Chain A
Amino acid sequence: QKEVEQDPGPLSVPEGAIVSLNCTYSNSAFQYFMWYRQYSRKGPELLMYTYSSGNKEDGRFTAQVDKSSKYISLFIRDSQPSDSATYLCAIPDSGGGADGLTFGKGTHLIIQP
């Protein structure tokens, strides 16, 4: 069964704080993991893509995967008001071409100036 779960929030933090967003999944066959950011009434914007356990860093963003716990995280350092959005984790079915993504419902993040 393809299930991806996220706490919907809202998560409200002050500007400059470190944000931790989390996602759990049920299917141990998942191999690839993505984080998207979605502003209200806009399309999802790809932030991070990883296909292994451990950490991947891109600027202020760090994606972390723990396959043994089926748990993925996105950390945002030095958070800015412009980071206020809904963050979606997404997992392709098997990692081959043309796989549909299974999305979590998203966590609504609010960065307070």
Chain B
Amino acid sequence: EPEVTQTPSHQVTQMGQEVILRCVPISNHLYFYWYRQILGQKVEFLVSFYNNEISEKSEIFDDQFSVERPDGSNFTLKIRSTKLEDSAMYFCASSGVLDEQYFGPGTRLTVT
């Protein structure tokens, strides 16, 4: 069964450093998403991406964040200058022509 994959599973970085989180969505899906979940809190929407551009973004997705689909399979989230409060699980998701979003296993980001 096709699935969304994410790498790395755990990333530790120092405050102020740039990180890139990687995702491979399900191959025939058209829509791609990033969410985050701070420990003990809700899953929160960050951004959606369709046809090589951002479709929707939340208030959380400020200028420190960017997304890219550098090739036909990968979808990345970049955080330019990490802050302590960026520590969270980051989930990538993808969907096809329907609205059913399938999530990856997540990347745990720890900012020290």
Contact = CB atoms under 8 A, between A and B. Distances in A.
A59 interface: no
B43 A92 contact: no
A35 to B, nearest CB: 11
Interface string B70-112: 0000000000000000000101000101111111111010000
B18 interface: no
A97 B91 contact: no
A100 B89 contact: no
A78 interface: no
A98 B45 CA distance: 11
Q: Give the interface SS of chain A, mostly helix, strand, loop or mixed.
A: loop
Contacts of B50: 97-98
B41 to A, nearest CB: 7
Interface residues of A, number: 26
A106 to B, nearest CB: 8
Contacts of B100: 34, 46, 49
A43 B42 contact: no
B56 to A, nearest CB: 6
B14 interface: no
A99 interface: yes
Contacts of A95: 99
A60 interface: no
Contacts of A46: 100-103
Interface string A65-106: 000000000000000000000001010110101111111111
14 contacts: A43-B104, A44-B91, A46-B101, A46-B103, A97-B95, A98-B55, A98-B56, A98-B95, A99-B48, A99-B56, A100-B48, A101-B43, A101-B101, A103-B42
